[in-house]
Amino acid sequence: MQATNESPRFAEPTSLGLFGLAVGCAALLPIAFGVKSAFTPDALRTTALFCLLFGGGCQLFAGLMSFANKNMLGGTLLTTFSFNWVVNAWALREIAEGRVPSSAVVLSVDACFLLIFLVMTYAFGFFSRLLLVFLLDIDLLYVARIARELTHLQELGLVVAAATVILMLIALYIAFALVLVNASGRSILPIGGPLFEATPPPAANAPAAH
């Protein structure tokens, strides 16, 4: 995030993105826990719609508004993740039609996403402990997905499901905290301070080191 004296162009959009993330996770839970009725073509198409509109749409809007508000870190995370939800929706639609996406391509992209989220986890540690835990849960989810694809251990599906539930709950908690502090003017649900201390930029008139 970059400090600026300009007033934000939009109201804080993070809660919108987090509510969309939570709804998308909720839609995926029946599949994650292996509920048989969730794998019918109609159920898969229904899940795809929720992933597209809430996981993809809400996070895309929130990410673009964050960029407009000069919030580079939040805008980057929300916008990048929004397109991942669009791919999830596409994959579910393909499966509903009997076409399975390439597992090799998905594995390669998951590995790339894991690297991205590991760095973003560290970055968010400069803003909030809870946000760091939020990103750590995403890291765990991708580690489990990759390990399941490499080892074919179906038990790892329960780790993915549990991480999805935790992700939904943390997203709702942070969104509720932001909404309530905006409505009440005080912190009702604490989200914790930064874990790491950022180094302040050098003063403009400071002498250069030689």
Per-residue model confidence as pLDDT tens for the chain (210 residues): 444 456 778 889 999 999 999 999 999 999 999 999 999 999 999 999 999 999 999 999 999 999 999 999 999 999 999 999 999 999 999 999 999 999 999 999 999 999 999 999 999 999 899 999 999 999 999 999 999 999 999 899 999 999 999 999 999 999 999 999 999 989 899 888 898 887 765 655 544 444
30 occurs within a structural domain = yes
Indicate the pTM of the whole model.
0.88
pLDDT of residue 208: 44
2 occurs within a structural domain = no
pLDDT of residue 6: 66
192 occurs within a structural domain = no
pLDDT of residue 2: 45
Token pair for residue 188?
């009702």
18 occurs within a structural domain = yes
206 occurs within a structural domain = no
94 occurs within a structural domain = yes
pLDDT of residue 191: 87
Domain count, the chain: 1
The domain of 48 spans: 14-184
205 occurs within a structural domain = no
1 occurs within a structural domain = no
Cα-Cα-Cα-Cα torsion 111, 112, 113, 116, nearest 10 degrees, comes to 130
Place of tokens 């302040």: 200
What's the burial of 118, exposed, middle or buried (CB within 10 Å: 0-12/13-18/19+)? middle
pLDDT tens digits, one per residue of 47-91: 999 999 999 999 999 999 999 999 999 999 999 999 999 999 999
DSSP 72-131: HHHHHHHHHHHHHHHHHHHHHHHHHTT-PPPHHHHHHHHHHHHHHHHHHHHHHTTT-HHH
